[in-house]
């Protein structure tokens, strides 16, 4: 779906929200950071971490694991990241405000 801009983005957070899903970028302290695609070793580590942490979390019924892409907005103005792996403990599962965003 193509979007039409009604005005140019005024903040880096607005720019971040315009990126297509899967864009390796983040906004930290109102600075935009772009990342190259992860290398094979990185992907193997993320996979192993997902399996190990996921099995532990599942056995304890203590939360849920999410694998990227998944937007995490630490605040609405200047901090948003797309981590490789997210662990949300059971007591925090209701924190999600929008689909695929925390």
Sorted by where each starts, the structural domains of the chain and their CATH numbers stand as: 12-95 (3.90.1570.10)
Q: What is the mean pLDDT of residues 74-87?
A: 87
- Residues whose CB falls within 8 Å of the CB of residue 5, separated by 6 or more in sequence, listed in order: none
* Contact between 26 and 82 (Cβ < 8 Å): yes
Examine the pLDDT at 59 and tell me if it is beyond 90. Answer: yes
> pTM for the complete prediction?
0.67
Give percent of the chain above pLDDT 90: 28
Distance between CA atoms of 28 and 10, rounded to whole angstroms?
Answer: 16
Examine the pLDDT at 52 and tell me if it is beyond 60. Answer: yes
Tokens of 58: 């599942």
At 46, the pLDDT band (50, 70, 90 cuts) reads very high
**Distant-in-sequence contacts of 17-22, Cβ < 8 A, 24+ apart:** 17/80, 21/69, 22/69
Q: Are strands 85-89 and 25-28 parallel, antiparallel or unpaired?
A: unpaired
């Amino acid at each position: 779906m193509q979007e039409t801009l009604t005005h140019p983005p005024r903040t880096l957070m607005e720019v971040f929200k315009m990126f297509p899903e899967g864009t390796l970028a983040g906004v930290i302290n109102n600075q935009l950071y772009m990342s190259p695609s992860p290398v094979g070793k990185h992907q193997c580590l993320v996979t192993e971490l997902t399996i190990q942490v996921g099995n532990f979390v599942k056995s304890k019924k203590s939360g849920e694991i999410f694998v990227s892409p998944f937007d995490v907005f630490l605040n609405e103005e200047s901090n948003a990241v797309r981590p490789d792996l997210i662990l949300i403990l059971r007591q925090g599962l209701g924190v999600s405000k929008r689909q695929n965003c925390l």
